[in-house]
Amino acid sequence: MENRPQWGTRAGFILAAVGSAVGLGNIWRFPATAYENGGGAFFLPYLFALLTAGIPLLIMEFTIGHKYRGSAPTSYGRLGQGKSWIGWWQVTIAFVISTYYAVIIAWAMSYSVFSFSLAWGDDPEGFLYGEHLKLAETPGDFGSLVPGVLIPLIIVWVVTLGVLFAGVKKGIEIANKIFIPTLVVIFTIICIRALTLDGALLGLEAFFKPDWSKILDGSVWVAAYGQIFFSLSIAFVIMVTYSSYLPKKSDITNNAFITGFGNSAFEVLAGIGVFSVLGFMAKQQGVPVEEVVSAGVGLAFVVFPQIINEFPAFNELFGFLFFGSLILAGLTSLISIVETFVAGVQEKFGISRTKSIIFGGGLSAILSLIFATQGGLYFLDSVDYFINTFGVTLAGFVSVLAVAWFAKELKNLQAHANGLSDIQLGAWWRICLGVITPVVLGYMMFDNLRTNLTSEYGEYPREFLFNWGWTIAFGALFVGILFSMKRSKTDVVSSTSTGK
């Protein structure tokens, strides 16, 4: 008998999967990515990436987790002899992402409090980099720990690890059942308010206006795939871990479609909300919308405070709701990513869940302090770019090749999913994963390498990018291989319950 934790309900699993997928990537990354890559025209590569790679990969990860019933390394090990290194590599990528992702949630936490007094004043940019982050002058300098970041960061870790301590059903499932519906309500309120602002239509026009000239540009397709991977939490094995807690009789394919479309719906909603307020701000300042568009840190912590300042009424409340939605979306994603390596470490060393949370979660929490220093923003920017470009995408490419071509597992996985699911997988699924996805990802890797070998990301110094980009991205592969070299306790103690 296996004593693996299990989700209590199907809705609980779906909410947790959606909770993982819907994160900072949806709110602050998607709108500007879509805008910069062709606006309305971006939806074509985006939909293509979603249907040929995103959802097929989601189905693959759900099926692997469900069939092999283990953390990612265990599941990959059972899928193909000697393939656990792929699982460990992806677990290490998840670990790296968790260290900086937590810090962004901490910033949002501070800003939700700042909203009450509009603490950023008339110069949100100066406030962010000066007073709040106390940003170091040179990339690579650590400076000292910034208390204004450290304190909320501690709260983020206490909440996240607290949820994990409570377990899969009593912790993760309950947290998502509360956080996700709350997030949907808050975000809907924000969007309705945004849509009724003067100038909203200008923003929406800028967002949806298609620039078809971009469609043949390879980098637009690279952006669409990158967005889908990060946003759906695929290729860093979160979904393998979550689906390994499904009861034996569970739908797989339908769940994957619900998760995939749910995530994209939230993304489009975020695009509408964000561009409506950008249109409002452009109108207030009498400038074209292009001039106020930004992404990531700049969008959330500079442009939004400016917009909140100019809001016609209830500025403080709007600010609190916006940063509150970032916190909720972020926490549910962070919980999933930490669970991924906690489960891996627990099985590898045969220790209790509690110990694994203390060691695994604790180590990530300690390393996240790097991003709470005065140089934190530079480190975060570089690590985020490189771990996505040469971690998530490369590992996605390798895992698809390994499953489809080396282990030749697609037919077996298809049979497993079809035996359980409402929607039946056909040859289209194997073609997407065996042919289309590897070809596109292979091209992406080539393009990414070419770009990064011929120019410096963000114009940072080469040495800085070597230390805080290349080394970390390829170090994750090295650590993954290292971890897989010793057989894990689970495989030594029992090689049963492989689901075969």
Which positions lie near ligand MET, rule CB under 6 A? 20-21, 23-26, 97, 101, 230-231, 233, 333-334, 336-337
Indicate the residue among 202 and 326 with the shorter CB distance to ligand MET: 326
User: 237, 242, 233, 289: which is closest to 263 by C-alpha?
Assistant: 233
Beta carbon of residue 390, minimum distance to ligand MET (angstroms, whole number): 17
- Min CB(179)–ligand MET separation in Å: 14
- Which of these, 490, 478, 482, lies nearest to 395 by C-alpha position? 478
Cα atoms in the Cβ-side hemisphere of radius 13 Å centred on 352:
5
20/110 with CB nearer ligand MET: 20
Determine the Cα–Cα distance for residues 249 and 445; give it in Å rounded to an integer.
Answer: 38
* Pick 26 or 52: Cβ nearer ligand MET: 26
Which C-beta is closer to ligand MET: that of 272 or that of 281? 272
Q: Toward ligand MET, which CB reaches closer, 333 or 488? A: 333
Nearer to ligand MET, 338 or 420 (CB): 338
Measured from the CB of residue 311, what is the shortest distance to ligand MET in angstroms? 26
Return the structure tokens found at 286: 């009498």
Q: Which CB sits closer to ligand MET, 336 or 364?
A: 336
**483/471 Cα distance (integer angstroms):** 17
Complex with ligand MET: residue 175 or 292, whichever CB lies closer = 175
Closest distance to ligand MET from the beta carbon of 333 (Å): 4
Rounded CA-CA distance 127/107 in Å is 13
The token pair that represents 159 in the structure block: 């909440």
For residue 145, report the phi and psi dihedrals to the nearest 5 degrees.
Answer: -65, 140
Closer to ligand MET at the Cβ: 321 or 334?
334
Q: Between 94 and 321, whose beta carbon lies closer to ligand MET?
A: 94
CA-to-CA distance for 156 and 334, rounded, in angstroms? 9
Please state the φ and ψ torsions of residue 369, each to the nearest 5 degrees: -60, -30
Q: How far is the CB of 347 from ligand MET (least distance, A)?
A: 21
Cβ(348)–Cβ(120) below 8 Å = no
Burial class of 498 by CB neighbour count within 10 A (0 to 12, 13 to 18, 19+): middle
Give 241 or 373: the residue with its C-beta nearer to ligand MET: 241
Q: How far is the CB of 22 from ligand MET (least distance, A)?
A: 7
Contacts of 161 (CB under 8 A, 6+ apart): 338, 357, 361, 362, 365
Least separation in angstroms between residue 233's CB and ligand MET is 4
* Dihedral over Cα of 429, 430, 436, 440: its sign: positive
**Among 392, 431, 393, CA closest to 410:** 431
Nearer to ligand MET, 224 or 281 (CB): 224
Query: Residue with CB nearest ligand MET?
Result: 23
